[in-house]
Amino acid sequence: MVSFKCLSTAVLSLCSVNVLGLALGGKSYAIANPGRRELLQDLVTWDEHSLFVRGERIMFYSAEFHPWRLPVPGLWLDIFQKIKALGYTGVSFYVNWALLEGSPGHFSAEGVFAYEPFFEAASKAGIYLFARPGPYINAEVSGGGYPRWLQRNTGILRTNESAYMEATDNYVAHIGQLIAAAQITNGGPVTYGAPWVEFPDSSYISAVNKQYRDAGVVVPLVNNEASIIGLFTPGKPGGPDIYGHDAYPFGFDCADPESNWTPGRLPTDWKKLHLEQSPNTPYSIPEFQGGAIDSWGGPGLEGCAVLANHEFERMFYKNNFGFGVKIFNITFGGTNWGNLGQPGGYTSYDYGAAIKEDRTIAREKYAEAKLMAQFLTSSPAYLDAVPGDLTNTSYVSTPELSVTPIVGNTTAFYVIRHSAYESLESTPYTFSVPTSIGIVKIPQLGGTLTLNGRDSKILVTDYDVGGINLIYSSADVYTHGRTGSKRVLLVYGLEGETHELAFSSKLGKPTVEGGAVKVQTKGPAVVVQWKVTQSKKVLHYGSNLDVYLLWRNDAFKYWKIELESPAPIGNYASASKDTVIAKGGYLLRTATRSGTSLYLTGDLNATAELEIVAGLPGSNNVYFNGKKVSDIKSTNGRLEGTLTYTRPAVKLPDLAALEWKAIDSLPEIQPSYDDAAWTVASHTTTNNTSYDETYLTEFSLKTPTSLIAGDYGFGAGSLIYRGYFEAFGNETSLYLSTTGGGGFGHSVWINKTFIGSWTGSQAGSYNQTLALSSALKLAQGKTYVITVLIDHMGQETNWWPGHDYMKTPRGIIDYALSGHAKSDITWKLTGNLGGEEYRDPVRGPLNEGGMWAERQGYHLPAPPSSGWKKASPIKDGVGAAGVEFYAASFGLNMPAGYDIPLSFVFANSTGTPANYRVQLYVNGWQFGKYINNLGPQTSYPVPEGVLNYSGTNYLSLTLWAQDATGAKLDGLSLVANALIQSGMQKPALTWSDKWVRREGAY
């Protein structure tokens, strides 16, 4: 089943309104009523070109970020600041219903599941929010965000059938109120919303819209169709305020990223389709590919990062800009901790995104995304420019290249790429374009321009640099700013490329710093031509303008930071705001001016050059993370200094040397085990209306009573079944048909005797006939117990409405014991303690499964391990098929002022891998499912806040050996992924609880 999600190009497309004239930043704006519907607010509106927020045109360039995939509210500001530093203006976020209403009728959004801290962090960073609360979200999460109890609902999901809609009422009423309170109309960051995803029908969409409007949501609504088909557009039944669509042009094959660069993958007709489908709304792509997902047994997520890497961004994102898109998104993935993920997907939801799962920003795609976003958000002329048609016969001197013009009132943008977008060739060309001084053939000073393979450029003409007209530039513009009356412009190119730009001769000829360039007067313009080198060159046009000619890799190191404005703008994006442009190491987060002093916060991973080129404070008083930068000097109109990095001394524990304690976590196979408290599988019918994924036939029971775990309230983590039968003495085989989702496995015992296992693959179900050896010595008339342990990998998503895939059964679907009728076996089952009446409100309804140690709560901090045996999962392991639970503790004393992301890393032997499965618990939080024989994930980041960086941590794991010979870990270590000297705010711990005896635990 295909999964979708990722890069949200979320055009801040919102509800249209009759807006009055508004003064902002010295400019007045008058906005005509562009909408077809009665407006419910007047702060967010649009025309056919772009959105307006408080009367100002805005590019809603957004990142996808799901707070529940990073369950540390104290780190949410860190992510927002890293998104803001890209030049992005917004964030799109999903709400996961399954985490908020784990028990029917009981809505709880507290602790790590509270949304108020998320909204506060967004406001502090200056990020507008695009709310996508569902009820259905997909998002590669278990059930697509549906709570597990919805499997028993008699209605067809994602339709307006009353049984289903009534089940959503409580959730929508509560989450709708939370979102309504955080709307821009109430001073919050939420500017628009999309309550539904991709395919639903118009009557359902209308019903869900009404639910949210009744809850007080007044911001505009945008849809995201699965592709650009124009099914639900404004004015049609179920149509949104603004139409949007999704696209994943490279799909999800992370094994061979290069194979995706084939003809036909790059869209060429989206502008035409947009004008046919929704010409009165800004072009919106609420999801565009920013990475990809991987599966158990897959190639690993670094392949997904390569699939949608910096070259993909340059080619596909700029291609979208050529269609006039005014919204864009995914940037941070996170972690599928605590059984969050969909079946088939593993714990990491890194997604190959620009911001890695461990929150580091070392991938080149982060820096490339910054170059593009800062350019667009620094270019207000783009917001009402009109895209033209793609051509390879105009503008350029060779049909090997194609150009899309985007023409505004004065400024024009030309997106240039290879006609065969996948080309690796370096192609020379000249470029002829109309400008304010006439048609100009570029370069004017001789030679040719060059476009390298897998690159795309945006050439500008008559581009406004703070009141100074840039007649043209063949180099990409990064951004621009000012210090007093002096403007500063940054442009860049690849090393070795020839570029040219021109300003009016009224500015005079520039003096040149840093190397030779050609300077020549051509009519009314002064033209400058240069060859890009690793060392920067600076053109000084007296006191009017400085132009920095940068190598692309050097441009990566410059940051543009907005200074805070008075309310209501605050830290939100606005063209009226003052900015600071500075070269400053790994990350610059914030800038504040006080008098003639400038205060910067940011991060370092090495000693770095500080170079402030715009927004200078008026003195040499510059502070970084609260400390004065001591060596600041003024040089050629900029401030220069050094940001000193001090490598911290970090001592991490040797996990193999810890004092591990162990206890059997599968006592269910022992003769003395009492299952009196277990749930009896007594249902003779089921409400399950799922369709078989292959044959599209509706599910029907094949067993005398239902053995579907969801029918009894169990829907996450491991499942255990115990089936009683009276032996005839001649049984020879046991047939089982089980299902647990992609990557699942099972193991089977009769009494204490191990019968066999299914060790897993990407398949979601498995039929197995197990031979019963004579060694069992089944005695006629004696009662025996079949124990089946199944790894529940999550519920299927419900991507195709009406097929109820989310209800796809988990558990035992069919069975046969040779010589017996099915009714000869009576079954009991268990999952997590309490099922939907889950016991851990801190970590929510999905964090734990049905293994004995989990039911006792021994994975929580400080379990009662004093009486357990001493045994190590690394040195000792499990001697036979079964499950052992291991616990240990260790201290951390990480240095203050540093962000040091940590990961637990499993070693994997180079020989034939043993068949075993591990659940990794850190201070009670399940932060890793490791399957040794499937992989590919071996490294499991765990964030500070879950980990106690200044105290004791409790580590535990379940080791499930699926082979008769048992298993032990090849190794387990705790490693630092980076040593970052940081201005990040230290997060608080997300837990303070410790183990207490659980009433009713069995």
Q: How far is CA 899 from the centre of its chain?
A: 20
To 5 degrees, how large is the angle CA 322–CA 94–CA 845? 155
Cα Rg of the chain (Å, integer): 30
Residue 836 half-sphere exposure, CB side, CA atoms within 13 Å?
A: 20
Helix runs in 883-945, H state only: none
Cβ of 605: how many Cβ atoms within 10 Å? Answer: 19
How far apart are the C-alpha atoms of 58 and 521, rounded to whole Å? 37
To 5 degrees, how large is the angle CA 695–CA 700–CA 704? 140
How far apart are the C-alpha atoms of 201 and 158, rounded to whole Å? 8
C-alpha pair distances (Å), 745 with each of 471, 681, 764: 65, 21, 9
Nearest Cα residue to 943 out of 58, 125, 154, 72 = 72
Span between the terminal Cα atoms of the chain, in Å: 37
For residue 81, give every residue at least 6 positions away whose Cβ sits within 8 Å of its Cβ, in sequence order, or none. 125, 589, 590, 984
Is the CB of residue 814 less than 8 Å from the CB of residue 703? Answer: yes
Is the CB of residue 527 less than 8 Å from the CB of residue 504? Answer: no
C-alpha pair distances (Å), 690 with each of 101, 150, 154, 799, 801: 22, 12, 11, 13, 11
Crossing angle of helices 76-85 and 116-125, in 10° steps, is 30
Annotated catalytic residue 198 = yes
Which amino acid is located at 555 in the chain?
A: A
Whether a cis peptide bond, with omega within 30° of 0, leads into 568 is yes
SS3 per-residue string spanning 970-993? CCEEEEECCCEEECCCCCCCCCCC
What are the two backbone dihedrals, phi and then psi, of residue 823, each rounded to the nearest 5 degrees? -70, -10
Determine which one of 287, 313, 562, 884 is catalytic.
287
Cβ of 952: how many Cβ atoms within 10 Å? Answer: 12
Cβ of 964: how many Cβ atoms within 10 Å? Answer: 12
Helix (H) or strand (E) segment spanning residue 83: helix 76-85
SS3 492: strand
| Per-position b or e across 239-268, b if 16+ CB within 10 A of its CB | bbbbbbbbbbbbebbbeebeebbeeeebbe
Q: In this structure, what DSSP letter does residue 509 have?
A: P
SS3 177: helix
Annotated catalytic residue 368 = no
C-alpha pair distances (Å), 273 with each of 4, 35, 230, 279, 282: 22, 20, 8, 9, 13
Residues in the chain: 1002
Determine which one of 64, 198, 311, 368 is catalytic.
198
SS3 826: strand
Is the CB of residue 679 less than 8 Å from the CB of residue 826? Answer: no
Is the CB of residue 158 less than 8 Å from the CB of residue 801? Answer: yes
Is the CB of residue 585 less than 8 Å from the CB of residue 362? Answer: no
Nearest Cα residue to 158 out of 143, 170, 173 = 143
Burial of 661 (0-12, 13-18, 19+ CB in 10 A): buried
Q: In this structure, what DSSP letter does residue 314 have?
A: I
Which residues are 916's β-sheet partners? 961
Q: Are strands 972-976 and 733-739 parallel, antiparallel or unpaired?
A: unpaired
How far apart are the C-alpha atoms of 250 and 243, rounded to whole Å? 23
Instruction: Give the residue numbers annotated as catalytic, written as ranges.
Output: 198, 287
